[in-house]
Structure 1
Amino acid sequence: MKGPYPEIQGGGSLILAWQIRNKRVLVVGGGEVAAGRIVNVLNADAKITVVSPREGLNDEVAYRIEQKQVDYVDRKFEPSDLDGVDMVLTAVDDPEASSQIYKLCKEKRIAANIADVPPECDFYFGSVHRDGPLQIMVSTNGNGPKLANIVRRQIAAGLPHNIGAAVQRVGMLRKKLRKVAPNIDEGPKRMQWMSRVCEQYSLDDLCSMTEEDMEMLLGFYKPGTVPSLEEVRLQEADGAYDGPFLI
């Protein structure tokens, strides 16, 4: 009998936005796959150490090293490289060496991704669409990276052109709201009010909101009302406006 709650579908991954800012990430290898991993991790503001013989570096990895975007060790992996590391990414054409690194990571309880070996991955890299603060990831749980890329492009093609800017403005408004209502017990009301703003305002409205608009809009938080952007700007232009939305 079908229950009232979502049915469980095993075999998936828990997709998270993993905050690794200022964490130490070890990348073993210096080829094309390593280059892609490095970009992903640098975009997350982590600190990277690359371990690879110099003759194995591709042009992009060599560039990252030259620009001092990553720390570099010119040799093959050694177990001591795991000291002080929060995450390990391997991208070398040596299955035996990769498996050994994974076993060491398991012993030290360090999250690891072994390129092209799904059973030896604590997490997977998906295909990511990025537009400012907006990130959308498509994962096939290691079954078809190329297909994930195709699906991601189709999703991105259907998104409004200004979605990233709208997300950025909502983030600014939320930060301002936390200053207006900082108490923990205000949490549910903050979430409900922000939800109403996102539902009632179009993406164009959100993108065009100025800081002055936001400050005026926040004046409606306490009574729990959400006027239109037009009404907000009317009040900005005429302090004597006494329409039904005025506080």
Structure 2
Amino acid sequence: MAGKFPEVQGGGSLILAWQVKGRHVLVVGGGEVAAGRILNLLNADALVTVICPSSGLNPEVRHRVTQKQVAHVDRVFEPTDLELINLPTVPLTTGAPDMVLVAIDDPAASSQIWKLCKKLRIPANIADVPPECDFYFGSVHRDGPLQIMVSTNGKGPRLAAAIRKFIAGQLPKGVGNAIERIGILRAKLREQAPEIEQGPKRMKWMSRVSDSYSWDDMCGLSEEDMINLLTFYADNKVPTIGTLKAMRGGVDSEAIDVFDGAFGFCVGC
């Protein structure tokens, strides 16, 4: 029986897509590493507070501050910063931080912040100090809704970047746009069949749709194509892309003469 189950491979990380939209994240530091962290957070729609003297802000972080994309506390970190609650000078904050990212060139201060976070049970990441990280930042490829992260569990960030570039080079052209179109179709299907008991059928039908069309086909799905495609859901069918194209302009699917590959011959009639 044991041979039928996957072997446990310890030493890994639990890779998750952490939803930080609307969450308050504290970034300590304003250099190049902090700039990368801040961009990742803003891309995930987090509310970001940066604690760093103005003299330590690099051009990118300074731009984020100037454009009011992040809140800025112009001084070094203080322990009470882990209890921030709507400071008048930090209008974007919504309370104590849900996450802390430290990117400063001071190992002793970084470790102290780590210990404070542990005491308050706030998830934290101390740049370049794997033992003092609740989570790691992998090398990420982004194409619209598609995100692929490569992690070496803190052992080889440069190698992770190389592997990420290799994987990105193997992906079909337009894959991000195709995923976007399928996401829109899923939302429309949920509106059409919102009942909880429809869940299994929705999932299986969407899987068949994804398996039936090429990336280019999915990229080319128009609003009209999606509406026509959804008419096949009730019968749990998935039409060919040719059928969908033939239905454009209001043509009913039953009126389409689909060639089935059969030929008839009459010899000597």
Determine if the TM-score, normalized by the shorter chain, exceeds 0.5.
Answer: yes
Question: 1:240 and 1:20 mapped to 2: Cα distance?
Answer: 44
* CA distance in structure 2 between the aligned counterparts of 1:18 and 1:225, rounded to whole angstroms: 35
Q: 2:252 aligns with which of 216, 239, 242?
A: 239
Query: Does 2:99 correspond to 1:87?
Result: yes
Quote the residue 1:191 is aligned against.
203
> What's the CA shift for 1:243?
5.1
Alignment of 1:126-165 (within 5 A): 126-165=138-177
TM-score (norm 1): 0.96
Structure 1 stretches of 4+ with a deviation exceeding 6 A read none
- Deviation for aligned residue 1:109: 1.1
Per-residue CA deviation, residues 187-222 of structure 1 (Å, 9 max, x unaligned), is: 111110000000010011100000110011001111
Query: How many pairs align?
Result: 245
Instruction: Give the whole-Å Cα distance in 2 for the aligned partners of 1:135 and 1:34.
Output: 21
Aligned pairs for 1:28-177 within 5 A:
28-83=28-83, 84-177=96-189
**Contact between 2:243 and 2:253, CA under 8 Å: does it hold in 1?**
no
1: CA distance, partners of 2:226 / 2:167: 30
Structure 2: runs of 5 or more not aligned:
84-95, 259-269
Kindly indicate whether the alpha-carbon contact (under 8 Å) linking 2:23 and 2:46 is maintained by their aligned counterparts in 1.
yes
Q: Quick one: which amino acid aligns to residue 246 of structure 2?
A: L
Q: How does 1:194-205 map to 2 (within 5 A)?
A: 194-205=206-217
Q: Offset of 1:136 from its aligned partner? A: 0.5
Aligned equivalents of 2:166, 2:77: Cα separation in 1: 39
State the AA in 2 paired with 1:153. Answer: K
Deviation string 1:48-83 (CA, Å, 9 cap, x unpaired) is 000011111111111111111100001110111112
Q: Which runs of 5+ in 1 are unaligned?
A: none
1:180 maps to 2:192 = yes
Paired letter, 1:166: A
C-alpha deviation, 1:233, in angstroms = 2.6
Structure with bigger gyration radius: 2
Distance 2:26 2:185 in 1: 36
**Alpha-carbon separation, structure 1, partners of 2:247 and 2:158:** 52
Report how far residue 239 of structure 1 moved. Answer: 2.6
The superposition leaves residues 65-118 of structure 1 with CA deviations (integer Å, 9 ceiling, x where unpaired) of: 111110000111011111211000000111111111111111111110000000
TM-score (normalizing by structure 2): 0.88
- 2:125–2:133 CA contact under 8 A, matched in 1: yes
Equivalent position SS for 1:65: helix
RMSD: 1.4
Aligned partner of residue 19 in structure 1, secondary structure: coil
| Partner Cα separation in structure 1 for residue 134 and residue 167 of structure 2 | 26
SS of 2:68's equivalent? coil
